Amino acid sequence: MGNVLVIDDDAAVCDALSELLTHMGHAVDTAMRRDSGMEKASSNAYDVILLDVKMPDGNGLDLLPKLKSQANDPEVIIVTGYGTASGAEFALKNGAWDYLEKKASVEDLLLSINRALQYQKEKQGSQPLAPVKRERIIGSSPKMRPCFDLLAQAAVSEVNVLITGETGTGKELFARAIHSNSPRAAHGTESVVPLKRNPRAEKNFVVVDCAALPETLVESVLFGHEKGAFTGADQTQQGLVAQADGGTLFLDEVGELPLAVQKNFLRVLQEKRYRPVGSKRERESNFRLVAATHRNLEQLQQDGKFRQDLLYRLRALTIDLPPLRERREDIKELVRHHTARLCRSYKMDSKGFDPDLLEALMAYEWPGNVRELVNTIDGMLAVAGQDATLFPKHLPLHIRVKIVCNAFKEKAQTKESSDDHEDSTSSSDADSLISFKEYRLNAEKRYLENLMDGTGRNIAQACKISGISRSRLYELLTKHQIGESEEEDENQQTG
């Protein structure tokens, strides 16, 4: 039995799910708004949260990273009446257990809930993963926590790992952290079982920059070559695969690996055996593979530029690193850390930060991610010199211009949105307006009705007050079908 929270703006859905799950023995809470749902999730330990997408106070999917960052790490099942492929992708990438449409059967929903509860129970009973050394990986935002969990899982296994993310997000740092926390590192932790490996092999972290490999020498660089294998091969050369024996081979920007080499490398990856260029015999290398790319390998595969079988081998476990703009909560910590590190490196006094600078750094989009941020800090220190405090004026000009331009764009968008709202309101009001002719007729009729009622329907008195001739008044009364007094009718008949 488990604790379940239902976040849905439909009272009928909340009542139905609450009744069903309570009957099954679960403790159920409900919330009909995002804010109240988040408040309940923060103050209670739920095992499973059923989350709707379209809520009156915003998109339910925006809550997902915050819900998954709770200390008890609940499983979140998206249940929506407006399912989309992009929504499903976003949900699963941000840690959702499942993504279901409301038209799905009750059996499918209950099956998903029961499996999530089973997973939660087994997870609580299992031994937690040992803390990992993060090297220079800074940040603890909700977007980064799933990445750290996968890092810990990768470190205690031998599975191939593919790290994806934009340029500058820290893919190599994650690869090094996987290696340094694994049994293959020089100082592996005692909580894991050592691997069987060649005792003579050095436990190396070997980086292969696939983007920088000359296509004509790729196989020689990777697998090595014998003396005389080709023109210029004056001596036997050990390749990078051999150097990684007992350690980790890191293929950086693996999407740039030439297609002709991919087939040979696939066999090496499967058999852990390779043949140096010009050699007649194969050799072994017990390496662990970690690869990284900023490109879409699936698209490359569809375009015929990347082997499908190699792609399947590489991504046994995938860590997708978020761009810096999606984890702005980490920017201030990153700035303080790298500023202090660079000041120590340059033997400079520590620097203070003007609040406006930190706000400016938070407002910038950082297309180059953490790498761009670190380079920016480096440049600011050079400009600041002996200044004790860093101000926005120390920022590179192109960043200052971009921040100001973005601020103007946001103001313009806000004004445009406000104008659209006013136009919408005006349009709504305009729908209820009438023509001037119709308005005049209505006003004329109301005046005549008030005039006749106020004079007790006395025509003579009505003419005196209104200044309208008797004939014209009769004409108007007839036009608007307003009856005159009986006394006046009698006078007209006797006259």
Note the pLDDT tens digit of each residue in 47-80.
999 999 999 888 999 999 889 888 888 999 999 9
State what percent of residues in the chain have pLDDT above 70.
Answer: 88
CATH topology for 328-400?
Helicase, Ruva Protein; domain 3 (1.10.8)
Residues 6+ apart with CB under 8 A from 271: none
**How far, in whole angstroms, is CA 237 from its chain's centroid?**
46
pLDDT digit string, tens, across residues 4-17? 999 999 999 999 99
131, pLDDT greater than 80? no
30, pLDDT greater than 80? yes
User: What pTM value is reported for the model?
Assistant: 0.70
Name the more confident of 417 and 196: 417
CATH superfamily for domain 145-226+236-320: P-loop containing nucleotide triphosphate hydrolases (3.40.50.300)
Q: Which amino acid is at 280?
A: K
Per-residue pLDDT at 188: 37
430, pLDDT greater than 90? no
* Residue 349, φ and ψ in degrees, nearest 5: -65, 150
pLDDT level of residue 193 (50, 70, 90 thresholds): very low
Per-residue pLDDT at 190: 31
DSSP state of 455: T
Task: Yes or no: say if 328 and 362 are a contact pair by the CB < 8 Å rule.
Answer: yes
95, pLDDT greater than 70? yes
Per-residue pLDDT at 436: 75
485, pLDDT greater than 60? no
pLDDT digit string, tens, across residues 405-416? 887 777 776 666
Q: In this structure, which long-range contacts are made by residues 343-352, counting pairs with CB atoms below 8 Å and at least 24 apart in sequence?
A: 343/381, 346/381, 348/381, 349/386, 349/388, 351/381, 351/384, 351/387, 351/388, 351/389, 351/390, 352/388, 352/389, 352/390
Show the beta-strand stretches assigned E in 95-226: 98-101, 161-164, 205-209
Closest CA to 487 of 467, 458, 461: 458
Provide the β-strand partners of residue 5: 29, 49
226, pLDDT greater than 60? yes
> Looking at residues 283-312, what average pLDDT do you find?
95
CATH topology for 3-125?
Rossmann fold (3.40.50)
Best-predicted range by mean pLDDT (128-137, 288-297, 433-442, 466-475): 288-297
